[in-house]
Structure 1
Amino acid sequence: MEGKEEDVRVGANKFSERQPIGTAAQGDDKDYKEPPPAPLFEPGELCSWSFYRAGIAEFIATFLFLYVSVLTVMGVVRADSKCSTVGIQGIAWAFGGMIFALVYCTAGISGGHINPAVTFGLFLARKLSLTRAVYYMVMQCLGAICGAGVVKGFEKGRYNSLGGGANVVNAGYTKGDGLGAEIVGTFVLVYTVFSATDAKRNARDSHVPILAPLPIGFAVFLVHLATIPITGTGINPARSLGAAIIYNKDHAWDDHWIFWVGPFIGAAPAALYHQVVIRAIPFKSK
């Protein structure tokens, strides 16, 4: 293990620039350095403390995310009148606000993914290795399960009767409606993540890295406003899995596939659009 800690910002790897890539490589006067694509497998990570520290950060962040957000959902559901609670807007603020706070806290340690769909999109864009992507997803799911479990501990007997914060396709909507809402919602989130962490923007505008958690959290807030009536808003497979496992009722599992397939489908075109259309990174200069 090296004496100094590795740079674990989103997209950073311990490799020198191998090959100029993208339109950014077409001039010698660029004011930033494009990170090289992450290798598919990076065995050296397994011997690095920062690798495990990053996974722990993802676990704790997802744990806290589920704890606060699902407790907010339960508080709204248990009330006889939504006017006496924070309502749907408050739920959206709880999810978006927690993402803003947690991304701010963990961005310099793990990249602040807190979502397997975000990790998947960044993996497709070669921002991190398969080793790290799988590790992050496992830790995110474990954190979500523990967070939802603590919520059940607080609610105790009323947890199941209040729905447990589990995602389901609501009455009046088809499974296709729910899948479409998850795809588009996740596209918005992942596209925002790519734009907020863009290396070129970070180099030219010094305020961008500091403000990055704000648009990401705000994107989560807006997507929740739009899709809570449809699916309760997943756009995060770990969040949906944690609530479903602790709630563990048949109707929650009936629609559960939507909250994995939708986010992963939505993340893929978001990564492709940003990398190929916005940045043209896959195209090497002559």
Structure 2
Amino acid sequence: MSKIALITDTTADLTEEVIKKYNIKVLPFRIIYKDREYKDKIEITPEQVYDELPNEVPTSSLPSMNDMDEIFTKLKEEGYTHAVAITLSSGLSGISNAVKLVSENHENITTYVCDSKSISLGEGILVEECGKMIEAGKSFEEIVNTLPSLVKKSHVFFVVKTLEYLKKGGRIGRVAGTIGQLLNIKPIISIGEDGKYFTYDKVRGRKQSLSKLLNIFKEVTQGKKCDVYVMHGNGYKDAQGVYEEISKLDSVKSIQFGGQISPVSGMHSGPGLVGLAFIEKE
């Protein structure tokens, strides 16, 4: 009889409650300063990262191959026959390929790696949906066949206070840079089919960007019902305001306040991120 494991990484921003409920194995990214290194979410908090940004902007690295190898070894010991790994977008990280490589060394576990083409709770939504399918007794084949359609039904949009940190982290892709900062242009950023950031729309000023974020959600979800998450990176007050406005909309089937994004995501976006992740349900 098959036993299916579920693997993800710390950028999925799942709560401890969800991780325990579905027995999810979580790979920590690494945050690297000049003289020290931390495991994302385990050895460092988002607040510590934001506090340190004026002094030093760290770099990040994939979860170690050793961490990945250990997870697959433990899965074998725990009697798992199959594994589904849902990872941060391949357009933002090499983790998908790394997990595939390590899984090939563990042929006794049949593994499917799903590139979320997303980040934060856009990735986390997919992990939770997969957990529900495993809990419901869906077969490995059914899950593998369903996940690509769920990727297409999930969406992420976010705004940041400054593009400075996305630029420093090399994650800015097609997002407008220096000129936009000079003009106080605030892009509403999403992730394209290639898994990379792009400017979905842009406005001038912080207040207008939050309002535009709300309007984009209304446009994209018109005639649909969605499960929604609101998250932030050291931008609690603004995120709470967006949460309250979105809660009133007919397109919202359920909504949760997802809280702080992971430290490794926060170091790339900088303080002040407000984001939406949602998946079409009907």
Q: Judge same fold: TM > 0.5, yes or no.
A: no
Give the TM-score category using the shorter length.
under 0.3
Q: TM-score, normalised by structure 1?
A: 0.24
Higher relative CO (Cα under 8 Å, sequence separation at least 6) belongs to 1
Q: TM-score, normalised by structure 2?
A: 0.24
Q: Please state which structure has a larger fraction of its residues in helix.
A: 1
